[in-house]
Amino acid sequence: MKEIIRIATRNSPLALRQANIVKDILRESVKCELIPMTSSGDNASSREFKKLGGKGLFLKELEESLLSGDTDIAVHSLKDVPFILNNKFEITTISTREVPTDVFISNKYSSIHDLPKNSTIATSSPRRIAVLKNISRDFEIVEIRGNIQTRLKKLEEENFDGMILAAAGLHRMSIQKQITEYLSIKQSVPSAGQGILCVEYLKNNLNIKRMLKKYKNHDVDRCAIEERDFIGMIGGDCMSPIGAHATIQKEKISLTGFVASKDGNDFIKTTCESSVTKGIGIGKNLGSIFNKQGAKKLLNK
């Protein structure tokens, strides 16, 4: 193995923070160097992002650096990683999971349920839009992209009534004081992999694979697999109103799935539970149940 592991990362403040978390974890084994870069996802317009379904736009340049040998591993937020990877790559989870829920942020209201029906709320996620529209069809949704700091600045400058973000990013940036309200899993089922960091590497790089193996959190990895398998069964991507969240407690695995029409009028939400050993494949099983209930039709509605 090379003496210094080169870590490919996007150059946004949150991505750099996440890469440094991985760097700190690996420090006991190897020296690491961050290689920041701009991804297609950072430069894409909202129209381009939607047209491509967001598929792999945050990975493209990082993966190219792995293929060229300029870097050894890449760090991603797992929720940004498509279910179907190029077969030259593998991913593994690393470290514990950060708070996985969505959060409501507002300078005017103390709860999302205090919002007037015609409130203006900023979010770019179709899943979150569907959740909001289910609360009130009269909400005016303003699509917003950019890093956390940019979004929080726009919340104030544009005088929005509220904004929905992932808790994980705010926690990792140590600005959780900005959070007005944590939304429960029952209120808003998160994206698959939300709050989980993953490391991507070349499949044939066995040295890297061996090194990373000892840092895997097996419960987190199992939850990640089941959540992603659920998404894979339904055929969703990061631009689909679809969520999945798994937990493991006392030898039980629980998985909540969510699929909605884009207008939020119709949705399927179900939780199933099994023993950890007997529940292998719970993501695929729940996805199959959702498909029988019309999940794919909902996504195309």
Q: What's the pLDDT band for 86 if we cut at 50, 70, 90? A: very high
Average pLDDT, the chain: 91
Whether this prediction's pTM lies above 0.85 is answered by: yes
Place of tokens 């007037």: 116
39 vs 141, higher pLDDT: 141
pLDDT given at position 58 = 74
Active site residue 80: yes
pLDDT given at position 48 = 52
In angstroms, rounded to a whole number, what is the distance separating the alpha carbons of residues 177 and 287? 36
For 18-57, write each residue's pLDDT tens digit: 999 999 999 988 999 999 998 765 554 455 545 555 556 7
In angstroms, rounded to a whole number, what is the distance separating the alpha carbons of residues 19 and 34? 7
Cβ(242)–Cβ(264) below 8 Å: no
Cβ(26)–Cβ(197) below 8 Å: no
Out of 72, 80, 102, 161, the active site residue is 80
pLDDT given at position 44 = 47
pLDDT given at position 41 = 53
pLDDT given at position 207 = 93
pLDDT given at position 236 = 77
For 216-258, write each residue's pLDDT tens digit: 999 999 999 999 999 999 987 778 899 999 999 999 999 999 9
Q: What's the pLDDT band for 299 if we cut at 50, 70, 90? A: confident
Percent helix, strand, coil in the chain, to 5, is: 35, 25, 40
